Amino acid sequence: AQSVTQPDIHITVSEGASLELRCNYSYGATPYLFWYVQSPGQGLQLLLKYFSGDTLVQGIKGFEAEFKRSQSSFNLRKPSVHWSDAAEYFCAVGVVGGSQGNLIFGKGTKLSVKP
């Protein structure tokens, strides 16, 4: 069955430090992958997406993600975290529609930023 795993429920990093959020997926075909960010009480904002081609994808707000087929991973990275990056981050895989819909989400990783 298709699934997305975000192993880290909560991560705390210092402002200016680098960040890597992990995402592993299970999907039988070539995946379409997404990262979304959610600030408290808000909707989901698309950070970046991978459909095909270059496995290193650039997104908004200085984020990037690397697709590694051999590891079934799509980890999100940022070289220097800002206090405004504190939010919850969701990885998702696009699937052919069904009872799970067209996007299967991980449970999310909450990012806290220390001053």
Cα angle: 69, vertex 72, 78; to 5 degrees:
90
Question: Measured between alpha carbons, how far is 12 from 27 in angstroms, rounded to an integer?
Answer: 30
Among 12, 26, 42, 71, indicate the residue that binds another protein (CB under 8 A): 42
Q: Which of 67, 70, 65 is nearest to 20 (CA)?
A: 65
Distance CA 27, CA 94 (A): 9
Tokens 């081609």 belong to residue: 53
53 binds another protein (CB under 8 A): no
Nearer to another protein, 33 or 81 (CB): 33
Nearer to another protein among residue 15 and residue 64 (C-beta): 64
What would the x/- binding string for another protein be over residues 89 to 108, using CB under 8 A? -x---xxxxxxxxxx-xxxx
Query: Interface residues with another protein (CB under 8 A)?
Result: 32, 34, 36, 41-46, 49, 51, 90, 94-103, 105-108
